[in-house]
Amino acid sequence: MIEHPAVHQPFAHLESLGYRATYVGVSRRGRVDPGEVAAAIGPDTRLISVMMANNEVGTVQPIAEIARIARERGILFHVDAVQAVGKVPVDVHALGVDLLTFTAHKLHGPKGCGALYVRDGVTLEPLVRGGKQEHGLRGGTENAAGIVGFGKAAEVARRDFAANTAHLLALREAVLQLRDRLPRVILNGDAEHCLPHLLNLCFVDIDGLDIQANLSLRGICISVASACASGALTPSYVLKAMGISDTAAWASVRFSLGRGNTLDQVETVVEQTAEIVEDLRWTTSPEDIGECDENCPCLWEPERKLGTDADDSDRADPVADRVS
């Protein structure tokens, strides 16, 4: 239910053609239960697709476990690893996946250049016919400059992986200081299974758009959802799929960090965010935001930081089966 539109929309198109798609729910931490994936498999299931890491809350999924389930059932398994490659270890052989997609610009490479790993023995229909390029799967002259830039970006990401990871984790911990600086700040996501550079925080009683706008005026860019959902006038579907209420979803913002960011910059972000949130809480009435309900994260675990050692028994929606 939390897949990127790059997966959701093709599946919706297949449904319009008469195929059946089953959508598996996630826990309140945004994590998929491999057991629910196994339970969702039917006799006519041909493909499973699960993102390795979510682009809004940063939760990393149990890909190797799901891959074993798919392999035992003889089903192809695709992984969207766009957010993961370069940020967490990704070994297609150790994971046991059949297909894996990633892209250059998430590695600080050029935009407009992506890659698809295809396991030996997996046969695909051509995406674009009319040429022998890319093993006949995508006809047309290759973007040579983009490919070279992609390769160099991957080389640098692998070379500096340990240093970059340590740096990003330090920045992430600095942002998390907001939970100590301010009351009613909740982490949306999984504190253990997470990307080092991305986190989503709920500032209870504050409209996330107000935080975003005020930070923007100070030269700081954050988001209220993913870039691919910008302009949407509805709460984040990712947070909703995690069982979070509309009110809490609107109060949530995403911080995305890069290897070029410094600790001084992030400390400035923390100071400015804390100041803005305190000001907004003085000047905003709860009626302007909406009332919390049983699906607000602060009510799940009061006085505790979300995502430390809670179990996943309080899952959000179970398997949701939609038939075209």
**pLDDT tens digit sequence for 256-305:** 999 999 999 999 999 999 999 999 988 766 666 666 666 666 655 543 33
Answer yes or no: is 109 within a domain.
Answer: yes
- For 50, the domain range is 5-159+317-323
Q: Give yes or no: residues 167 and 154 share one domain.
A: no
CA angle 299, 189, 102 (to 5 degrees): 160
Q: How much is the pLDDT for 301?
A: 52
196: domain CATH number is 3.90.1150.10
Q: How much is the pLDDT for 284?
A: 67
Answer yes or no: is 306 within a domain.
Answer: no
Q: What pTM did the predictor assign?
A: 0.86
Residues 65-94 have pLDDT tens digits of 999 999 999 999 999 999 999 999 999 999
d(CA 105, CA 149): 10
Q: How far apart are the first and last CA of the chain?
A: 17
Residues 220-253 have pLDDT tens digits of 999 986 444 445 568 899 999 999 998 899 999 9
Answer yes or no: is 29 within a domain.
Answer: yes
Q: How much is the pLDDT for 225?
A: 65
Answer yes or no: is 308 within a domain.
Answer: no
Q: Give yes or no: residues 108 and 176 share one domain.
A: no
Q: Which residues pair with 40 in a beta bridge?
A: none
Answer yes or no: is 48 within a domain.
Answer: yes
Residues in the chain: 324
Residues 175-195 have pLDDT tens digits of 999 999 999 899 999 999 999
Answer yes or no: is 52 within a domain.
Answer: yes
48: domain CATH number is 3.40.640.10
Q: Give yes or no: residues 77 and 25 share one domain.
A: yes
The 252-256 sheet, strands edge to edge: 185-188, 198-203, 252-256
Number of domains in the chain: 2
Answer yes or no: is 305 within a domain.
Answer: no
Q: Give yes or no: residues 194 and 274 share one domain.
A: yes
Answer yes or no: is 310 within a domain.
Answer: no
d(CA 14, CA 146): 30
With CA atoms as reference, report the closest residue to 189 among 230, 241, 130, 227.
Answer: 241
Q: Give yes or no: residues 120 and 169 share one domain.
A: no
| Residue of 113, 202, 221, 228 marked catalytic | 228
Q: How much is the pLDDT for 319?
A: 36
Residues 14-28 have pLDDT tens digits of 999 999 999 999 999
Residues 146-159 have pLDDT tens digits of 999 999 999 999 99
Q: Is the pLDDT of residue 317 over 60?
A: no
In sequence order, which residues have a C-beta less than 8 Å from that of residue 147 and are 6 or more positions away? 113
Q: Give yes or no: residues 167 and 108 share one domain.
A: no
Q: Give yes or no: residues 121 and 224 share one domain.
A: no
Task: Place 131 in a pLDDT band, splitting at 50, 70 and 90.
Answer: confident
Higher pLDDT, 228 or 131: 131
228 is catalytic: yes
Neighbours of 73 (CB within 10 A): 13
Tokens 């979300």 belong to residue: 306
